[in-house]
Chain A
């Protein structure tokens, strides 16, 4: 039967269809809340795990901070994200959130710190620094969006744009991530409620040794490829952000604990193979110097700065031979990402915490300052020479990257 008013009917169908389609899409995305933007109550088997959280951590963590209002945070790159535990007993009883995310730039660290501090004044912050973050021109990634943060770069409150809501409720991306959320319930969600990531290991495909090689290859050919150290003089965004971070903390009397990531001895061979050893040392001196400058200006004792790299019981853990798919390393995923077990020992030292039944090796971690840094760097150089003589095959593998 044909309608007498076919065009009216047609328009009605389109109007109805569009409304229904949008209602369904928005409800679905709200229910699944794949990025945790809306803090929708979790339903077992539906939306409780957030498998796409980690691939959108800049967005997701900005909102988690709003919801959880932590008084203590962890800043850092994926190493801090994976290795440092907000549930460690050494934290001073504050609600803690791991606000580290992959390839964080120093500017992003500053901005997320400002964000978290404006949501709830912070009491304590642990910052895990990586050498590559101080590469000249290391800028925020494309998924960084200032608009998701509660304050602008001057620390002034800024209103939320509607864009994030449109994108997370009414976009094909959100639908696809919502579907992934639904279909991957009960599997490894990739990240925990406290922000800490569970490392995405490639171990199903590769053995430990291969993972080391892949990571070293990436660092040699990508991260360190054209490495120039950002210095006080010529990169205001990077070193300037570091300075602002410290200045704010000294002024607001926030308890900062700074640390250099405990990368594996082989990772340090990659740095040396790239000809960056003296730059690596210069970087450590610079971290200490800016820290002390800002402390002096504020008239406060300087924040502790720990160096966990170097050669010690943990960083020299033997890597299982190629082809050994059975052995699992105790402290490392690969040459740069350390496991939570090592992260716990890092936090034991940082917080002077003694956990019954947990031993921390005496040669692990040195608090550095201008008073001891030269002796410390000289010791690492000597330790390195020693390690190279006892690990010829490891050395040969990292040397081979140059070819």
Chain B
């Protein structure tokens, strides 16, 4: 069940909230928690009931291993536990990929049926591994079974994160006040959810119409020119941003409706002025997991620069592979790994030159950093989005101008208003022709600019909502209070109207009426 569906918003969510409230209000907290687990499993099973067995087995197995580790922390048990989790993930997510590559490399002909990837397996596997590791380390004592089940299945975070940590969830589930809905939480949650819904349905899906055809064309081998390729790549860059940002907001909002504050997962990542900062703002809970359970155990930065860079690369390659079983994802991870290595290297050089004197960047330096980071990220998204390396290459050929520069014919006139820019470009090989296949003119350019403006200059949802502690882990971002208290969200009519507007526009965009456009035939 998708968050952005009528079934979820008008049936599942109200029924789940109402049941939780009715049971919780009578003081049956454990029953209310069971209700919430049941609802979450229903939510999961809606997609394919056959996989309910998988998630339940995984929960039971990990809980049992956790109990064993809690009473006697044996390394063998931990290794077996982790191996079982990774084995499951490996089988469902990577077996086909592995066999395909073996076949390609050795020319063998091993046949393996296409295995369907169970929803959320990448998320619940990681969450449970952290639980096992921390129990082994003696860092957690929690062993209440119901709360453990809720920790894994809680529907707001089940399917697309954030990858929650038991340390931040269990105490919230254990609170006396949990199980009673509060108007304050509902109001805050509903507002954040509505903003997220708007980002997903209107902004992300709205801009997707400009990216999908371009990437499809690249995959089909169509020659793309400069403007087409860049607009497609930028449209995808914003599509993914608002998709993920919106989904993270929706998850945080839904959790909050039940009084649960989820960790921050997304904090204006395109505002980052270098790639290290980008990864502190993009999919924060994944980076956190990778740092604590992969990078640091590998040795982190404690064993010299070379090993540190090697550890970084390994971590990023695996993060790439986690996103999908395909070489494009691995290359994407590797590219980001090399960005990070360069970034850390540059910092080290800067440190030597300036002898540790802190240098603060000028506003231009900061802007330049942001731009470089953004371009690097866009390039990497092209590989991430492309279905094959050939498709990505076709996109890059266009973006690097190898296939020439075209704009629609009327742009010659428009651009000439800008100090004769049109003629200037025409003189340097730009064509103004109807052959341009995808660029849809001012509407597309305007949409991209609008989204760029929101992305780079508008405060994010968590900043608007800052007075009500919208997410965990916001301390590190140095959120500043707004100059006017009217800008911050408060439960007042103006904000209610804004929320209703976002919600109504989104809800009315779930379905479309197809139109026929070519009258002439």
Contacts and interface: CB of A to CB of B under 8 A. Distances in A.
Of A7, A132, A174, chain B has the most CB atoms within 10 Å of the CB of A7
Given A35-B513, A145-B514, A170 B508 contact: yes
B187 interface: yes
A305 B521 CA distance: 23
Given A21-B504, A175-B508, A142 B186 contact: no
Interface stretch (A52-60, A110-118, A264-272, A387-395): A52-60
A9 interface: yes
Nearest to A170: B508
A315 interface: no
A77 B518 CA distance: 12
Contacts of A58: 514, 516
Interface string A38-82: 000000000000000011111100000000000000000110000
Given A7-B491, A17-B496, A145-B514, A170 B507 contact: yes
Nearest to A77: B521
Contacts of B497: 13, 17
A7 B257 CA distance: 12
Contact of A56 (B6, B491, B513, B518): B513
Contacts of B521: 77-78, 102-103, 132, 218, 223
Nearest to A163: B511
Of B510, B514, B517, B521, chain A has the most CB atoms within 10 Å of the CB of B521
A11 B183 contact: yes
Contact of B512 (A8, A25, A171): A171
Nearest to A162: B6
Contact of A6 (B492, B500, B511): B492
A167 B512 contact: yes
Contacts of A218: 520-521
A78 B518 CA distance: 10
A35 to B, nearest CB: 7
B505 interface: yes
Contacts of B359: none
Contacts of A170: 507-508, 511
Contact of A10 (B492, B508, B513, B514): B492
A102 B519 contact: yes
Nearest to B491: A10
Contacts of B190: 11, 14
A98 interface: no
Contact of A166 (B6, B184, B492): B6
B416 to A, nearest CB: 25
Contacts of B500: 13-14, 17-18, 21
Contacts of A173: 512-513, 515
B302 to A, nearest CB: 48
B45 to A, nearest CB: 21
Contacts of B496: 10, 13-14, 17
Contacts of B499: 14
A142 B518 CA distance: 12
A6 B187 CA distance: 10
Nearest to B521: A103
Interface string B481-495: 000000000111101
Interface residues of A, number: 47
Contact of B187 (A11, A102, A171, A200): A11
Nearest to B509: A172
Interface in B70-117: none
A5 interface: yes
B516 to A, nearest CB: 5
Contacts of A163: 511
A55 B505 CA distance: 23
Interface in A131-179: 132, 141-143, 145, 163, 166-168, 170-175, 177
Contact of A167 (B184, B492, B511): B511
A215 interface: yes
Contacts of A101: 516
B399 interface: no
B216 to A, nearest CB: 14
Interface string A1-30: 000011111110110011001100100000
Given A7-B184, A17-B500, A18-B500, A166 B510 contact: yes
Contacts of A11: 183, 186-187, 190
B222 to A, nearest CB: 15
Nearest to B519: A200
A209 to B, nearest CB: 16
A219 to B, nearest CB: 9
B503 interface: yes
Contacts of A6: 490-492
Contact of B511 (A10, A17, A25, A166): A166
A55 B517 CA distance: 7
Nearest to A20: B500
A142 B209 CA distance: 15
Interface string B1-32: 00000100000000000000000000000000
Contacts of A54: 519
Contact of A103 (B491, B515, B518): B518
A58 B516 CA distance: 9
Nearest to B186: A11
Given A13-B496, A14-B190, A171 B513 contact: yes
A7 B186 contact: yes
A171 B491 contact: no
B183 A5 contact: yes
Contacts of A9: 491
A177 to B, nearest CB: 7
A14 to B, nearest CB: 5
Given A6-B492, A77-B521, A56 B515 contact: yes
Nearest to A37: B513
Of A8, A13, A132, A167, chain B has the most CB atoms within 10 Å of the CB of A13
Contacts of A17: 496-497, 500
B515 A143 contact: yes
A263 to B, nearest CB: 13
A21 B496 CA distance: 13
Contacts of B512: 167, 171, 173
A102 B518 contact: yes
B438 to A, nearest CB: 17
Contact of B505 (A14, A172, A223): A172
B263 to A, nearest CB: 23
Nearest to B6: A166
B239 to A, nearest CB: 19
A198 B198 CA distance: 40
A35 B491 CA distance: 40
Contact of A8 (B183, B508, B515, B520): B183
Nearest to B516: A143
B507 A142 contact: no
Nearest to A145: B514
Contacts of A200: 519
A26 to B, nearest CB: 10
Of A14, A17, A35, A177, chain B has the most CB atoms within 10 Å of the CB of A14
Contacts of A14: 187, 190, 496, 499-500, 503
Contact of A172 (B187, B492, B508, B518): B508
Interface of A: 5-11, 13-14, 17-18, 21-22, 25, 35, 54-59, 77-78, 101-103, 132, 141-143, 145, 163, 166-168, 170-175, 177, 200, 214-215, 218, 223
9 contacts: A6-B492, A7-B184, A13-B500, A25-B504, A59-B514, A102-B518, A166-B511, A173-B515, A214-B520
Given A78-B520, A102-B519, 7 more contacts: A6-B492, A10-B492, A13-B497, A17-B500, A57-B516, A101-B516, A141-B516
Interface of B: 6, 182-184, 186-187, 190, 490-493, 495-497, 499-500, 503-505, 507-521
Give the 9 A-B CB pairs with smallest separation, nearest first: A143-B514, A10-B491, A7-B183, A17-B500, A167-B511, A13-B496, A173-B513, A6-B491, A7-B187
